[in-house]
Structure 1
Amino acid sequence: MIKNDLISLRAVELDDATRLYQWENDMRLWRVSNTLTPFSRYQMEQYVKSAQTDIYQTGQLRLMIDLLKDKAVSETVGIMDLFDFDAYHQRAGVGVMIHENWREQGVASSALALLIQYAFGVLGLHQIYCNIQASNAVSLKLFTSAGFQLIGVKKDWVRTGDGFEDELMLQLIKTGARSEFQKWEFRRAPGTDACGDE
């Protein structure tokens, strides 16, 4: 279990199927999750069973966010996702959903901080990224406060009831990573020329 004093991030369990069924079928969230059709209970149960598969096999990892009280779980309040996991290029996308009753209380920033530590420290990722609709000021604040930088704008990317909206791509590169120049720089040993010959 990945945790701090406020929350823990844990693997999806069979008991989470009903909660996920409710959250994934909340049409207010479909706009940010690119969902167009409802999920059945059966689909959620099958998903939960398959969620136990290793991130290196599926390319994704869903973690449940549990609120802690006196070091014990008091309530499951959200989801953190790693998706498009690429072990070779050492990168993954990040998504977060906090139940509306627990938003703007520091839960998302605490969960994101834990996920960043896990992604860089345990999975050995070099970078993580997220895609945020331009109108989603709360998510933009969350990710930029965690050090994510805006790296691109996808124009008219998301269809809305009023037309189309831009989607922003943000990225966080692991601090302490070597620069491109340092990565390819050859070190000259004493008494040798640039090719290593004496």
Structure 2
Amino acid sequence: MLLLKGDTIFLRALEPTDLDFLYHLENNPDVWEISGTTSPFSKFVLKEYLENAHRDIYEVKQLRLCICNLNEEVLGLVDLFDFDPKNKRVGLGIIVLNTIDRNKGVGGQVIGLICDYAYKVLDVKQLYVNVLEENEISLHLFKKMGFQVVGVKEDWIYSNGKYKNEVLLQKIKDNVH
């Protein structure tokens, strides 16, 4: 039985065969704003990354998993980042690349699976996300999944000649009903 499986998706570790998908994603300027990327990645660098992607979250403080549909097609990625086992917290990021795969319950399934994994396996107390204030769909999704707005970072992201606010949301295990 696969631990990270939902109704229509599952999460799996990165594989060498994900190189082209990762290359396309990491070099897509449309996602650079949220990823903090400022320049393209070579296939060589991404291949090296994939060769080291098996390293333990306790060592590298990050875990990246592919979001796949039941036909095993990769839809996107979910990242746990800035893992802090001492303070029992971890950041969460999700991207579903193609708009045709959005608004079909994928995000909710991913959030549910990854929160469950983080609480039960990594023993964290809280997860947090950073969402651009203008991204109303993501804000709605995370709130629906039990995350609460705890602050707004004003003028946090500079993109296309203007500053944007970023909303910080948390989901604390003791507050989960």
TM-score (norm 2): 0.94
Distance 1:143 1:95 in 2: 11
Q: Which residue of 2 aligns with 1:44?
A: 46
Q: Match of 2:8, as an amino acid?
A: L
Amino acid at match of 1:140: L
- Give the corresponding residue for 1:27: 29
2:80 aligned residue (79, 82, 88):
82
Q: Which runs of 5+ in 2 are unaligned?
A: none
Counterpart AA for 2:89: R
The 5-angstrom pairing of residues 139-154 of structure 1 reads 139-154=138-153
Aligned to 1:96: 94
Q: Greater CA radius of gyration, 1 or 2? A: 1
TM-score norm. by structure 1 comes to 0.84
The alignment of Structure 1 onto Structure 2 pairs a total of residues equal to 173
- Percent identity for Structure 1 against Structure 2: 40
1:87 maps to amino acid:
P
- The reply on whether 1:118 has 2:131 as its aligned counterpart is no
Q: CA deviation at 1:162?
A: 4.2
- Aligned counterparts of 1:25 and 1:137: Cα–Cα separation in 2: 24
CA deviation after TM superposition for structure 1 residue 86, in Å:
0.5
- Name segments (4+ residues, structure 1) moved above 4 Å: none
Task: Return 127-136 or 99-108, whichever deviates more.
Answer: 99-108
1:47 & 1:147 partners in 2: Cα distance? 33
Instruction: Please give the secondary structure, in 2, of the residue aligned with 1:65.
Output: strand
Amino acid across the alignment from 1:55: I
Structure 2 distance, partners of 1:86, 1:29, is 25
